[in-house]
Chain A
């Protein structure tokens, strides 16, 4: 069975600081991993995903994530936070070949001026 744990329900950074949002997963099969973002009053949109190949994945808006099998992690980073990055971020793992996703609890990112 697959599961996802996001460490920290709220993360606060200053504008221009490094953003690090943590995600650990559990999967009995090679995982496909996703990060989604939800801006206020909107649905979720895909930031990036890891399927196979290069373990460092680049996404939209300057975000990237690294798949580390030995640590069962898929942490999301951005070198310099912008005010517009304030949102809720969800890590997810694919439930096998079913097309279903298992989501983490979400992390709210606050960016202070």
Chain B
């Protein structure tokens, strides 16, 4: 049981390049999330997927797109990277239902845009 896995762990991009961050979970969770964390700050929600086939914007969605490929996988795409997107990106998953459910986080992807 690997929990939540993310690839890659590190990435350096030049301004304008594109890339996709991959996330997978093996806990059969319905809900999945993408956050970014900047130095000295908490996590900010980029996009989330309450269930397979649905996605919704979070607090900071501009410059990103997501795909819920299936129940296990949720990818985050940067179409044209900008230095402001330099951050650590975390994927998470949780059960879905009434109330607030524990989120399980991946190890993160450290992205630098030059």
* A associates with B: no
Residues in B lying within 8 Å of A, measured CB to CB:
none
Residues in A lying within 8 Å of B, measured CB to CB:
none
